[in-house]
Amino acid sequence: MKALIQRVTNAKVNISGRTKGSIKKGLVVFVGFAENDTNETIEWVINKIRNLRVFTDQEGKMNKSVEEVEGGLLIISQFTLYASIKKGTRPSFIDAAKPELAETLYNYLLEYVSNNMSLYIESGIFGADMQVELTNDGPVTILVERE
């Protein structure tokens, strides 16, 4: 599993011209899944993200988690995190989970986050054509992965 997180001052996801989800201060979490990912993999990654100290404290140091600053999460499925460009110039997605498995894992992730975090949580729609707008704060972008 790969999760690309971006610390944001605001973000939203639009589908067919309508806003599906939006947050103010928080993290946009782009997630991609591999065939060998499990619920335990998701739990590890989400708990890592939950505890990442990427928000600044009073001294300007990255020392606070998204929960400590009462931020939100905008979670977007993105299989392209598993793009391989080892050969040629057209990306291969052979390492990404097949859509049926990825959707099951994505739904479990959303359920796990909703049941285990007290944050404002929004999401996209699995497999939809989405337009994501965000203001990356910092910029801070971190890849969290568990193989």
CATH of the domain at 111: 3.50.80.10
Helix (H) or strand (E) holding 11: strand 2-15
Helix axes 39-51, 99-116, angle to 10 degrees: 50
How many structural domains are present in the chain? Answer: 1
Number of helices followed by number of strands (H, E) in the chain: 2, 8
pLDDT at 112: 97
- Contacts (Cβ under 8 Å, ≥6 apart) of 63: 53, 55, 56, 57
pLDDT at 46: 96
Question: What one-character DSSP code corresponds to residue 96?
Answer: B
The catalytic site residues sit at: 80
What is d(CA 24, CA 10) in angstroms, rounded to the nearest whole number? 4
Three-class SS state of 60? coil
pLDDT at 146: 83
Three-class SS state of 20? strand
| Segments of the chain with pLDDT less than 70 | none
Structural domain of residue 125, as residue ranges? 2-145
What is d(CA 42, CA 91) in angstroms, rounded to the nearest whole number? 25
- pTM value is 0.95
pLDDT at 14: 98
What is d(CA 73, CA 92) in angstroms, rounded to the nearest whole number? 29
Question: What one-character DSSP code corresponds to residue 52?
Answer: -
